[in-house]
Amino acid sequence: MSSRWVALMELRSRRGRSPQNFQGSWLIAGALLALAAASCAGGAERPQPADGQAAQRSITDGGRRDAFRPLSPEGGSGAATPHVFVIPMENQSIGAIYGSGHAPYINGTLLPQYASADNFADELPGLPSEPHYIWMEAGTNAFADHTFQTDSSPSASNSTASTQHLVTQIEAAGLDWTAYVESVDLSAQPCPISGSGTYVPRHVPFLFFEDVSGSPPSKTASRCAAHERPLASLTDDLAAGRVASYVFITPSLCHDMHGSSSCPSGDKVQAGDAWLSGALPPLIAYVNAEGGVIFIVWDEGTKLPFIAVGPGVKAGYRSPVALNHGSLLKTVEEILGLPILPTVQGVADLGDLFAAGAVPSR
């Protein structure tokens, strides 16, 4: 029996309660079985690395493409590019999440099994969400032509012509990226620059860069539309292996701990935690089988929660290293073998959250 199948079945048995608000448990089970079937069809186990081949230089080696030896989930070497999933959550500080009875999935499953940060700072205290999301994409909110300081939608006066940002780097390296968005009609606006219901564009940072969304930003911008998908399609994409190297998942206001008058009444943290309990199991199965990591990040607060989920992270570890949203960006660049943007060269990466030699890499 392949170790990939074993990992999938073990994960499925550990999931605990039934997933909620994410296509239902039957879809998750289908994704797991499809992944397992693909694994079995692949034939023999991956060969084990030769002596010394599994050694992997530190993630702090500068982000060069040759800085890492790629490690498969089973410990062998391989050329496949790992997958990085980023899930942004909203407006909660550490005290509202770590140890909270309102977040039983996070505290009962994620924190004991995976790694978290204890010193993740808000680099833009006092500013709203949007500038923080821009920081996740570019390592700054200030550009030669515009400084982002509000939550306004993309427009001619609220966008930048800068090309110094992550997804443009990804495409330049011959890799792909996808933004999965919840609760938005992409048939009405293939490039979703306008808010509707519980969807807000301020939580999708790529939309504010004119090389993606057009100059001025447009609902029909072709490059943007090519990378935007409804969140409902993610389960099928996982099962079919149609997964980009970089995946940014934007929950609705009802599921990201932000809340809205359009959402059901109830506790915002609890609603987000329940959503994560449904959304994460198929993603965890995927990175365990195919290689990669899931980063769960909060946008603004005092000290912010941050969780790294995947086969290479330190189980139950709380990192004391000083981090911020630039650390997330820098680490994604390092994992995907991209040049490090000048805006984040001086910040710490997320290497402390990973076991020695276990950082996924290209």
The string of pLDDT tens digits covering residues 266-291 is: 999 999 999 999 999 999 999 999 99
* Pair 197, 169: CB distance under 8 Å: no
Does the pLDDT value for residue 123 go beyond 70? yes
Burial 192-222 (b: 16+ CB within 10 A, else e): bbbeeebbbbbbbbbbbbbbbbbeebbbebe
Percent of the chain with pLDDT over 90: 75
Q: What pLDDT score was predicted for residue 281?
A: 98
Other beta carbons within 10 Å of 16: 12
- Please list, in sequence order, all residues whose beta carbon lies within 8 angstroms of the beta carbon of residue 23, skipping any fewer than 6 positions away: 232, 235, 278
For 204-229, what is the mean pLDDT? 98
Q: What is the pLDDT of residue 120?
A: 98
Q: Which residues pair with 181 in a beta bridge?
A: 230, 250
pLDDT score of 323:
98
CATH superfamily entry for domain 3-37+80-349: Alkaline Phosphatase, subunit A (3.40.720.10)
The pLDDT of residue 25 is 41
Q: What is the pLDDT of residues 308-317, one digit of tens each?
A: 999 999 999 9
Candidate from 34-43, 90-99, 200-209, 337-346 with smallest mean pLDDT: 34-43
The lowest-confidence range among 33-42, 81-90, 292-301, 303-312 is 33-42
173 vs 44, residue with greater confidence: 173
> What is the average pLDDT score of the chain?
84
Cβ distance 358 to 56 under 8 Å? Answer: yes
Average pLDDT of span 117-134: 98
Residue 45 contacts residue 2 (beta carbons within 8 Å): yes
Q: In the predicted model, is pLDDT for residue 217 greater than 60?
A: yes
Highest average pLDDT, of 17-21, 45-49, 73-77, 305-309, comes from 305-309
**What is the percent of the chain where pLDDT is above 70?**
78
pLDDT at residue 93, as a whole number: 97
Tens of pLDDT, residue by residue over 7-18, are: 443 434 333 333
Does the pLDDT of residue 220 top 60, yes or no?
yes
- State the pLDDT at residue 362: 80
* pLDDT at residue 63 is higher than 50: no
What residue spans define the domains of the chain? 3-37+80-349
Range with the poorest average pLDDT among 27-41, 288-302, 339-353: 27-41
- Res 108 pLDDT > 90: yes
The whole-number average pLDDT for the span 206-230 is: 98
The pLDDT value recorded for residue 81 is: 83
Distance of CA 315 to the CA centre of its chain: 19
**Rounded to whole angstroms, what are the CA distances from 324 to 223, 285, 321, 332, 346?**
29, 27, 10, 13, 12
125: confidence class by pLDDT, cuts 50, 70, 90: very high
pLDDT of residue 38: 42
Closest Cα partner for 143 from 92, 224, 210?
210
Amino acid present at 42? G
Q: What angle do CA 68, 44, 69 make, to 5 degrees?
A: 5
Q: Is the model's pTM score more than 0.85?
A: no
Q: Are 192 and 220 in contact (CB under 8 A)?
A: no
